[in-house]
């Protein structure tokens, strides 16, 4: 726990030390036409397997696009979509999606209690860190540290990413933080916290 919090603090400080040019939301809106089929015109994806981007932190979106382009994060569709993007395109897309209002879903009632416990307190017995420690009590995330907002995100997508972190299929997390946490989570815990996040706001 202390190690993870130390990594989080270092990540926050390092990000604060580097300035990023703000993108142009209007230009990003134009560019987002290529993203709309999967992520929705305003970034509120109608499909549970594609993430909602509306309201997400601009720098986080830029990092993910950069990782897709560079191969640090792998997905056949996104690797191809990100390949032609310039740094300016990424900044503009980040600015556009950050300016949109994210929608909130509804959690499965039978998963809320366990999901809330994991999100707020973690699982001390297995060493699972509370999600809220980095992502905030309402799922707003931490833009300075590039910890994404999770509020209202599709449960199917959240569960898939946690399983990818657990297996190592996704490995673009700073300091292996998410991999270290996810590898200690059971399928039931992943499902519960993903459902909780979907209804969190």
Q: Is 118 exposed, middle or buried (0-12, 13-18, 19+ CB in 10 A)?
A: buried
Identify the pLDDT of residue 189.
Answer: 99
Helices (H) and strands (E) in the chain, counts: 11, 0
Q: Give tens-digit pLDDT for 181-194.
A: 999 999 999 999 99
The per-residue pLDDT of the chain, averaged, comes to 93
Task: Answer yes or no: is pLDDT of 14 > 50.
Answer: no
CA atoms of 88 and 111, how far apart (whole Å): 41
Phi first, then psi, for residue 43 (nearest 5°) are 90, 0
Contact 18, 111 (CB under 8 A): no
Q: Give tens-digit pLDDT for 100-142.
A: 999 999 999 999 999 999 999 999 999 999 999 999 999 999 9
Contact 54, 40 (CB under 8 A): yes
Please name each of the domains of the chain with its CATH number: 22-98 (1.10.760.10), 109-198 (1.10.760.10)
- The pair of three-digit structure tokens given for residue 96, joined into one six-digit string: 């556009």
Task: Answer yes or no: is pLDDT of 9 > 80.
Answer: no
Locus of tokens 């909780």: 196
């Amino acid at each position: 726990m202390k190690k993870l919090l130390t990594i989080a603090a270092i990540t926050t400080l390092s990000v604060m030390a580097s300035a990023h040019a703000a993108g142009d939301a209007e230009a990003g809106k134009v560019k987002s036409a290529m993203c709309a089929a999967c992520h929705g015109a305003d970034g509120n994806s109608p499909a549970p397997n594609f993430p909602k981007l509306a309201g997400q932190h601009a720098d986080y979106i830029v990092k993910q696009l950069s990782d897709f382009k560079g191969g640090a994060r792998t997905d056949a569709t996104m690797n191809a979509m990100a390949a032609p993007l310039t740094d300016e395109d990424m900044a503009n897309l980040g600015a556009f999606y950050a300016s949109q209002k994210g929608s909130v879903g509804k959690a499965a009632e039978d998963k809320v209690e366990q999901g809330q416990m994991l999100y707020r307190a973690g699982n001390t017995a297995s060493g699972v860190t509370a999600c809220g420690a980095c992502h905030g009590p309402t799922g707003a995330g931490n833009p300075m540290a590039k910890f994404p907002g999770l509020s209202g995100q599709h449960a199917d997508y959240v569960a898939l990413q946690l399983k990818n972190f657990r297996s190592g299929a996704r490995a673009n997390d700073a300091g292996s933080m998410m991999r270290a946490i996810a590898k200690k989570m059971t399928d039931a815990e992943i499902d519960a916290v993903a459902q909780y996040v979907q209804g969190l706001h």
